[in-house]
Every structure is written in structure tokens, then in C-alpha cells.
Amino acid sequence: MMKSEDVKNREDFIKFLRELDKDFQKDYQKNKDKPYGGDSKWENWFAGNYLEAISGWLDDTKAFSDVKTLQWKDLAKIIESGKYYE
């Protein structure tokens, strides 16, 4: 899977989002019926939890707080944070 730091432009960002979606779908199908999510790499399977994790990650880590203009890789990192942050 493409890493957030590899995203350099709009096309990379779109590819990153598509790969992230495929990663989620595969992980969800594999683990959805297992207790406690099995060995899922995704902490947040629901949109509300996912968005809450992104905002929590941004707030707790202060990531990009001093950046005036985000780059495509920064947007990818923000989106990726919802995968694993609780």
C-alpha cells in the first residue's frame, strides 16, 4: 500500500485514497465477525469514530499546527491517522 509520505500530487492523493479504501474493505471483510475485531489493523470501522480519531490525532499531536499551506502528503497523513488513532 502507498504510504502517506509518498503522496506528491493530486493524482497520488487519489491513488492513496483508493488504496486506503481497498485496505479497509479487505481488513473489514477478514475481521468483521471476529471477537474484538480479530487482528484488524483498523481501529475505526465507522465514519463517526474515524472522523473523531482524525480530529483527536490533529489536536493531541498538534500536527501541522504551524503549517500555513498543506501539501498533498500532509492531507494523506491526516486521512491515514483515522485508521489507527484512538
pTM of the model: 0.86
Distance CA 23, CA 2 (A): 10
pLDDT for position 37? 84
Task: State the virtual CA torsion across 27, 51, 75, 5 in degrees, nearest 10.
Answer: -40
Q: Is pLDDT at 59 greater than 90 in this prediction?
A: yes
Q: Is pLDDT at 14 greater than 90 in this prediction?
A: yes
Q: Is pLDDT at 25 greater than 90 in this prediction?
A: yes
pLDDT for position 64? 92
Structure confidence at residue 85 as a pLDDT band (50, 70, 90):
very high
**Domain range list for the chain:** 4-84
Q: Is pLDDT at 8 greater than 90 in this prediction?
A: yes
